[in-house]
Amino acid sequence: MQTYKITQIDFDLNDEDLTTYDVRRINETLQERYIHSEWIVEEDEETSIADLISDECGWCIDSLDYRLIRS
């Protein structure tokens, strides 16, 4: 198992139905909820951390930076 800490997260801005305010608000929510959160991933698991977060929050993650903190 490996544990990662999220250092940066951004929402996918390609949804034409969203206003600039909506995008800003979603990004703020993602920052509040997920920055510095830790995610444990099985080494043989093919799902990415971005996929796990997208599944949890329901929004497509465009950009995600993280660092390994435990292996």
Write out pLDDT tens, residues 13-67: 666 678 888 888 888 899 999 999 999 888 776 778 888 888 888 888 878 899 9
* Cα 26 to Cα 39, 43, 69, 71, distances in angstroms: 20, 30, 27, 31
* pLDDT score for 15: 62
* pLDDT score for 5: 94
* pLDDT score for 38: 93
Q: Cα torsion for 24, 52, 8, 2, to the nearest 10°?
A: 170
Report, in angstroms and rounded to the nearest whole number, the Rg of the chain calculated over CA atoms: 13
Please enumerate, as own/partner, the contacts of 22-30 that have beta carbons within 8 Å and a separation of 24 or more.
26/59, 29/57, 30/57, 30/59, 30/61
